Amino acid sequence: MNYADLFRVTLPETVLEVAALLVLFADLGLLRKAALKTRVTAAAVLGTVGCAVAVWAVYYEGAAGLSFGHNLLLAAGGSAGVAQVGILVLTAITLLLLIDCEFTRNAGEYVAVMLMAAAGGLIIAAAQDLLVIFIGLELLSLGLYVLTAFAKKSGKSAEAAMKYYLFGGMSAAFLLFGFSYLYVLSGSTYLPRVIYGVNIAAFNGGTPLLCVALVMIAAGLGFKVTAVPFHLWAPDTYEGAPAPAAAFIASVSKVASFALFITVSYTALNYFRILIPEFSAPGSHSYVTLRAVSGRLHETLSFLSGWASVLIVLAVASMIFGNLAALAQSSVRRLLAYSAIAHAGYILLGLAYFSWTNVSAQAILYYILTYGLTTVGAFGVVSVVERATGSDRMDAFLGLQRRNPLLGAITLVLFLSLAGIPPLVGFWAKFNLFAAVLGTSHSSTALGLVALAIAMSAVSLYYYLQVLKRVYVMPAVEETLVRAHPVTMTVLLLIALAVVGMGCFPALLQGWIASFY
Amino acid sequence: MIEQAVPFTPQLTASPIAEILWLIPAVPMVAAGVIALLKQPRRTAAATLAIGSLGFSLLLSLVAFGHVLAGWSNQVAVRETVNFTWIQVGASTVDLGWVLDPLSAVMMVMVCFVGLLIFIYSTGYMAHDENFTRFFCFLALFAGAMLGVVIANSLLLLFMCWELVGLTSYLLIGFWYQKPSAAAAAKKAFLTTRVGDIFFLLGIVWLFNDTGTLLFYDHGAGSMEGFALAGLLSHHVALGLTVAGAIGLLIFAGAAGKSGQLPLHVWLPDAMEGPTPVSALIHAATMVAAGVYLIARVYPLMSAGMPLIRAGAVTGTTAALAVVTWIGAATAVFAALIAIAQNDIKRILAYSTVSQLGYMMAGLGLGGVAVGMFHLITHAFFKALLFLGAGSVIHGCCDEQDIRRMGGLKVDMPLTFITYAIGMLALCGFPLVFSGFWSKDGILEAAHSGAIQGPFYLLVFGALLTAFYMTRQVSYVFFGYWRGHHPAHESPGVMTVPLAILAFFAIALGAIGTPAWPWFRAFLDGRSAAFNWHGFAEPGLALLMLTSSLVVFLGIGLGIWLYGGKSPSPEEPDVLEKATPWLWAGLRDRLYVDEFYGATVIAFYGWWARAADWLDRWIWGGIVAAVAGFFGLWAKFNRLLDMHFVDGGFDKTCEEIATGGGLLARVQGGRVQIYLRILAIAVVVLAAILFWSSRA
């Protein structure tokens, strides 16, 4: 192992950690006597600068030409690069939305914890080794528990954090247990070797153990991406956590976890592509078709198609349960939580029909990045409304269009994009994802699942419109203006413009993602 | 293969002006967006924004035109494209872009210039309307969309702007939506053009499927360039029609809808319910010409497989172009016939527009891009002039539109009269001085040199009718004595000055298309033009010009003989009506096309709607009601169970909890223990699924 390379590949994480320490230093040292407003602003700005420098570091390590096969613990470039830049940008946006918040007096600590959690996200996105994956996940999760609990005066915040922590701890236990089985079966923690060893083990009759290991891993990762039935913490946490923390959980943590899913799928499929020549034939490059073309290796490979069926089960359950449960919500935060579950379902479908080419990876990254951006904006809107009305009930949104026309318009754009209405970016995200699924497999099952996903997004339109109906159609109860900090409004407006702009020119983001490969 | 004789060196790399060409449509569109946000009383701001934005576009188009012209005089055929990828799905991409070539340059200057004059005129015409700002918002949006059609280098981008143009047309026809007739006309226009657009869209999809691109020009890889066309030609659909021809016909269906060609012309006369500036801008000068422009744009596709084009002289035709020619010629005569028997001043002009669009189509089909486009440009000026003149007359006569209730206006409205007369003579094709003569002559010449003489005779007959109905109209309106109620007055300068400018161009534009100096054709075809009196000496040309002049004189003479100097009272039947009542009735009722559609298409849709309604109400509704009833019963059954068996115990528990611990109960509302139990169960179930599915 070359330590210079290792340093270069961990440069973004290092930058974030240094930034976190700087924030702490500034906040607790230089600005101890300053007003809360100044401290929040200083911390957020410092953190944003740190993120910007880390983005540069990502490009730098990408340009250094380090990628898979260097036997480093972390990858650079490719999907990892895209996800890392996405994580950093979303973190920066969340930090900027913090400027207006007053749920805590310890702004510096909050920002520092957030930056450290983001560093965990960066590690997950790039990890190539089971132990590194686990460390990254824990770094991220521990940060998130703290962030959730940060509104110390709020009982709900503490309750949410407690639930999140208990559930997360249990999931982490499952995950680690699953990893240990994989280590037993393969004798390695390095992902490509694990895949290889698992393959040998399955050939020698290790399938039952493998099944248990895979399901445990699915449980651990399903918790992170809020897949049904590992989603139970999400509504409570989204509702109770301070708004910036909820936004951070809904976006950054999701991006990192799905990036991990992509790494695992990509490594596995490319391994088998080398192993079985027929597998490279066009139209037969997914787990599901894998089984059909590989009769002679049936025993070895069957567990992989089993993995796909686990993902399909999770995807279908998430799509149906998330969307239907969202229909019944009267709290917008809970609604966003259930909608997050539904969106995770769509993405899991894309992962179940993963292609060894870059198409699936890029479609999933496109989806998760745009979803993260939109959902951060949505939480920003919720947080502004909450501060003005003291509630996140749907009725708090009554007459928003009169009380703050710009915020009303931003809500319209963001929620319609979440519902996948063209010409907003949410439409293209869904379109690309489903096109990738259908491009990977021509089976009627895939078609049926995509049809289900589309039907479910039609259902989702109903609950998004419930919010918009209150913003635009129903009569206002109060007429007082809803005010927000100019920075908050600017950030939200920029998010809305990005959603519209990327929707009108979908190739912009696609081209940017493709430039990493 | 197509041999396009282009002696000029092609220039393909985009210059700075081509790079910023997108501003030309974008600026009016942004202005429309800003105007939409203005409050109703901000009239001056709205008008200034609209006029300013279009003025900017005009300046930019003039610069672009100058660039193309400079290239042309240096013997360079400019065709600069800027393309970008819009959507990428897997390996296939959908590209958009814009193009700067002589065709788009000429068209955008015309649209901006005529549009600007009409915008200025509108500030006078609409001065008393309370929705002044809304009007300018729509106008600006229209201008932006139309310019988008003009510069588009992708059939898809063109189609998007095309639909936007259709939308603004709908909004503007129905601008006075309180009038039921206006609302109905708007709906009719939208739906009728939609019929054509469906075929157009099919053509687009087919083209994309076969060539993989919708760009017109893409350095050899575009759909209008040799490689793609050769591929389209190599496949046949049926009856010897190539795929290129079939796609061309589908696209022509869209163009026919927009340009009011038979049999989709019915919406255009009704569209005159909109304000007169709208009729002038959209339903005479620009939008209806978009169909013609579209055919000119896809001319390589329409003419693909033509035996040979030699230095601009067309020797042969294709199936698609033959259809274009015949439909155009038939429309030209058909609409001119109907125009004879109309009494509404704008309706006459509307049918005349339909007829002239027919000429343009026939010109494209017979003589190629330059012939059709020249008539498009000259027509845009003199028809806008006529419409604005008609608007001035209507304005001066207190909103009277029936030509039988006018008369003698040449004294009351001298400026309007002079300019209107110029427009009328240009439309009739009065020899030598007026632009309409030269552009129509080009079409007739192309028709005469064609293989089949049928279209030629139709078009000559159409020219006779044109001269006749215009003379009738002018006699009624400007000569004789006043038969209206209120005394007429001349319009303000903001309306008459645009008339004068348009009148100037109605004459002057003829100079660039005479046989002696066929600059326009040379410019579009990328050849050099030299002034040469011998242009007139081509065999048969003098005879042809003589024929067409005679026809015009005959038409005008007939008109003067029948209507000149007489002032029949409004109730009195027309001269022709006395002679042939049945023919007159048929023409007056627009040859019963609307009635025919009412009895067939619309009746069928009515029947279909009733059938669907019945199906919905009784079959589907029944199923839904049955399901709902079943669940209702089930719910009742459950409630029964609940009330008598479950509730007893449940109520007891509830009471205990309520008394037991208010705060604690609420904190535990989420029940994290249950959550963790579900997590464990889920793992077991999933493991079972995985195990089972990897066994199978």
DSSP class of A207: H
Averaged pLDDT of chain A: 86
Which phi-psi region, left, alpha or beta, contains residue B46 (left: φ > 0; alpha: ψ -120 to 50)? alpha
Mean pLDDT of B56-73: 91
3-state class of B218 per DSSP?
A: coil
Read off the pLDDT of residues B559-581 as tens digits, 9 standing for 90 and up. 888 887 776 777 777 778 787 88
With an 8 Å Cβ cutoff, is A212 touching chain B?
Answer: yes
Please, which pLDDT band fits residue B2 given cuts at 50, 70 and 90?
very low
Q: How far apart are CA A294 and CA A309, in angstroms?
A: 17
* Candidate from A218, A303, A511 with C-beta closest to B686: A218
Mean pLDDT lowest among A14-28, A202-216, B126-140: A202-216
Question: Would you call B87 and A507 a contact, using CB atoms and an 8 Å cutoff?
Answer: yes
Residue A450: predicted pLDDT:
94
Alpha helices in A328-393, H assignment, sequence order: 332-352, 358-389
Residue B113: predicted pLDDT:
92
- A window 401-430, beta carbon within 8 A of B: 428
Instruction: Tell me the residue type at A509.
Output: L
Question: Would you call B682 and A162 a contact, using CB atoms and an 8 Å cutoff?
Answer: no
Beta pairing, strands B9-11 & B76-78: parallel
3-state class of B480 per DSSP?
A: coil
Report the gap between the CA of A367 and the closest CA in chain B (Å): 14
Which residues of chain B does A358 touch, with a Cβ-Cβ cutoff of 8 Å?
none
Read off the pLDDT of residues B229-252 as tens digits, 9 standing for 90 and up. 888 888 787 777 888 888 999 999
Mean pLDDT of B44-50: 90
Backbone angles phi, psi at B308, to 5 degrees: -160, 135
Please, which pLDDT band fits residue A303 given cuts at 50, 70 and 90?
low
Please, which pLDDT band fits residue A68 given cuts at 50, 70 and 90?
very low
Mutate to test the interface with A, among B29, B37, B86, B89 (most CBs of A within 10 A): B89
CB hemisphere CA count around B87 (13 angstroms): 18
Read off the pLDDT of residues B475-531 as tens digits, 9 standing for 90 and up. 888 888 877 777 778 888 888 888 899 999 988 888 887 777 788 888 888 777 777
Question: Would you call B683 and A211 a contact, using CB atoms and an 8 Å cutoff?
Answer: no
Q: Is the pLDDT of residue B661 over 60?
A: no
With an 8 Å Cβ cutoff, is A315 touching chain B?
Answer: no
How distant, in Å, are the alpha carbons of B256, B317, B357, B535, B553 from that of B364? 13, 11, 11, 21, 26
Q: How far apart are CA B192 and CA B597, in angstroms?
A: 11
Question: Would you call B690 and A310 a contact, using CB atoms and an 8 Å cutoff?
Answer: yes
Please state, for a pLDDT cut of 70, what percent of chain A lies above it.
Answer: 90
Q: How far apart are CA A285 and CA A427, in angstroms?
A: 26
3-state helix, strand, coil in chain A (%, to 5): 80, 0, 20
3-state class of B265 per DSSP?
A: coil
Question: Would you call B88 and A506 a contact, using CB atoms and an 8 Å cutoff?
Answer: yes
Residue A300: predicted pLDDT:
46
Cross-strand pairs, A74: A127
Please state, for a pLDDT cut of 90, what percent of chain B lies above it.
Answer: 26
Record the tokens describing residue B385, joined without a space: 């002039």
Contact between A312 and A352 under an 8 Å Cβ cutoff? The reply is: yes
Read off the pLDDT of residues A355-385 as tens digits, 9 standing for 90 and up. 877 888 999 999 999 999 999 999 999 999 9
Residue B574: predicted pLDDT:
78
Residue A214: predicted pLDDT:
86
B375 closest CA partner among B60, B59, B110, B69: B110
Read off the pLDDT of residues A470-502 as tens digits, 9 standing for 90 and up. 999 888 888 888 888 899 999 999 999 999 999
Report the gap between the CA of A32 and the closest CA in chain B (Å): 35
SS (H, E, C) A43-54: HHHHHHHHHHHH
A218 closest CA partner among A313, A115, A301, A136: A313
Q: How far apart are CA A262 and CA A84, in angstroms?
A: 13
Q: Is the pLDDT of residue B117 over 60?
A: yes
Q: At what angle do helices B319-340 and B454-478 cross, to 10 degrees?
A: 30
Q: How far apart are CA A19 and CA A49, in angstroms?
A: 8
What does the CA dihedral A480, A482, A484, A488 come to, rounded to 10 degrees?
A: -170
What does the CA dihedral B48, B51, B53, B59 come to, rounded to 10 degrees?
A: -130
With an 8 Å Cβ cutoff, is B451 touching chain A?
Answer: no
3-state helix, strand, coil in chain B (%, to 5): 75, 5, 20
Contact between A443 and A309 under an 8 Å Cβ cutoff? The reply is: no
B460 closest CA partner among B543, B383, B349, B534: B543
DSSP class of B273: G
The nearest alpha carbon in chain A to B685 belongs to A215
How distant, in Å, are the alpha carbons of B114, B296, B299 from that of B525? 24, 12, 12
Read off the pLDDT of residues A22-66 as tens digits, 9 standing for 90 and up. 999 998 888 888 888 888 899 999 999 999 999 998 888 766 555
Q: How far apart are CA B18 and CA B507, in angstroms?
A: 31
Counting every residue written for chain A, the total comes to 517
CB pairs < 8 Å spanning A and B? 90
Which residues of chain B does A174 touch, with a Cβ-Cβ cutoff of 8 Å?
679, 683
Comparing A110 with B575, the larger pLDDT belongs to A110
* Candidate from A207, A232, A432 with C-beta closest to B678: A232
Question: Would you call A435 and B89 a contact, using CB atoms and an 8 Å cutoff?
Answer: yes
Which phi-psi region, left, alpha or beta, contains residue B368 (left: φ > 0; alpha: ψ -120 to 50)? left
Question: Would you call A163 and B88 a contact, using CB atoms and an 8 Å cutoff?
Answer: no
What are the b/e assignments for A273-308, b being 16+ CB within 10 Å? eeebeebeeeebbbbbbbbebbeebeebbbbbbbbb
Q: Is the pLDDT of residue A197 over 90?
A: no
Residue B689: predicted pLDDT:
79
With an 8 Å Cβ cutoff, is B238 touching chain A?
Answer: no
Question: Would you call A506 and B682 a contact, using CB atoms and an 8 Å cutoff?
Answer: no
Contact between B508 and B424 under an 8 Å Cβ cutoff? The reply is: no
The nearest alpha carbon in chain B to A440 belongs to B90
Contact between A319 and A451 under an 8 Å Cβ cutoff? The reply is: no
Q: Please, which residues have CB within 8 angstroms of residue B421's CB and are 6 or more apart in sequence? A: B474, B478
Count of Cβ atoms closer than 10 Å to residue A207 Cβ: 20
Contact between B368 and B268 under an 8 Å Cβ cutoff? The reply is: no
Q: Is the pLDDT of residue A175 over 90?
A: yes
Which residues of chain B does A300 touch, with a Cβ-Cβ cutoff of 8 Å?
none
Q: Is the pLDDT of residue B694 over 90?
A: no
Residue in the structure block whose two tokens are 């898809």: B156
Question: Would you call B694 and A428 a contact, using CB atoms and an 8 Å cutoff?
Answer: no
Which residues of chain A does B682 touch, with a Cβ-Cβ cutoff of 8 Å?
219, 229-230
Report the gap between the CA of B353 and the closest CA in chain A (Å): 36
Read off the pLDDT of residues B675-693 as tens digits, 9 standing for 90 and up. 888 888 888 888 887 777 7
The nearest alpha carbon in chain A to B95 belongs to A507
Backbone angles phi, psi at B80, to 5 degrees: -100, 130
Please state, for a pLDDT cut of 70, what percent of chain B lies above it.
Answer: 92
Domain ranges of chain A: 3-514
Beta strands in B137-295 (DSSP E): none
Residue B662: predicted pLDDT:
44
3-state class of B310 per DSSP?
A: strand
Residue in the structure block whose two tokens are 């020619």: B325
Mean pLDDT of B633-642: 82
Comparing B433 with B614, the larger pLDDT belongs to B614
Read off the pLDDT of residues B499-510 as tens digits, 9 standing for 90 and up. 899 999 988 888
Please, which pLDDT band fits residue B668 given cuts at 50, 70 and 90?
very low
How far is Cα of residue A434 from the mean position of the Cα atoms in its chain? Answer: 18
Rg (CA), chain B: 31
* Largest Cα–Cα separation, chain B: 112
Residue B647: predicted pLDDT:
63
Q: Is the pLDDT of residue B307 over 80?
A: no
With an 8 Å Cβ cutoff, is B664 touching chain A?
Answer: no
Mean pLDDT of A508-512: 89
Mean pLDDT of B111-131: 88
Read off the pLDDT of residues B381-395 as tens digits, 9 standing for 90 and up. 999 999 989 988 888
The nearest alpha carbon in chain A to B89 belongs to A432
Comparing A241 with B514, the larger pLDDT belongs to A241
* Candidate from A230, A307, A436 with C-beta closest to B679: A230
Residue B165: predicted pLDDT:
92
CB hemisphere CA count around A371 (13 angstroms): 33
Which residues of chain A does B678 touch, with a Cβ-Cβ cutoff of 8 Å?
229, 232
Read off the pLDDT of residues A312-350 as tens digits, 9 standing for 90 and up. 999 999 999 899 888 888 899 999 999 999 999 999 999
Q: Is the pLDDT of residue B631 over 70?
A: yes
Q: Is the pLDDT of residue A299 over 90?
A: no
Q: How far apart are CA A13 and CA B173, in angstroms?
A: 62
Residue A294: predicted pLDDT:
44
Which residues of chain B does A506 touch, with a Cβ-Cβ cutoff of 8 Å?
86-88
Count of Cβ atoms closer than 10 Å to residue B575 Cβ: 14
Burial of A14 (0-12, 13-18, 19+ CB in 10 A): middle
With an 8 Å Cβ cutoff, is B37 touching chain A?
Answer: no
Q: Please, which residues have CB within 8 angstroms of residue B17's CB and are 6 or more apart in sequence? A: B60, B63, B64, B67, B100
The nearest alpha carbon in chain B to A305 belongs to B694
Q: Is the pLDDT of residue B667 over 50?
A: no
What are the b/e assignments for B418-454, b being 16+ CB within 10 Å? bbbbbbbbbbbbbbeebbbbbbbbbbbbbbbbbeeee
Residue B228: predicted pLDDT:
83
How far is Cα of residue A140 from the mean position of the Cα atoms in its chain? Answer: 12
Contact between A373 and A498 under an 8 Å Cβ cutoff? The reply is: yes
Q: What is the DSSP string of A265-287?
A: HHHHHHHHHHH-GGGGSTT--SH
Residue B8: predicted pLDDT:
66
With an 8 Å Cβ cutoff, is A164 touching chain B?
Answer: no
Residue A213: predicted pLDDT:
87
How large is the ipTM? 0.80
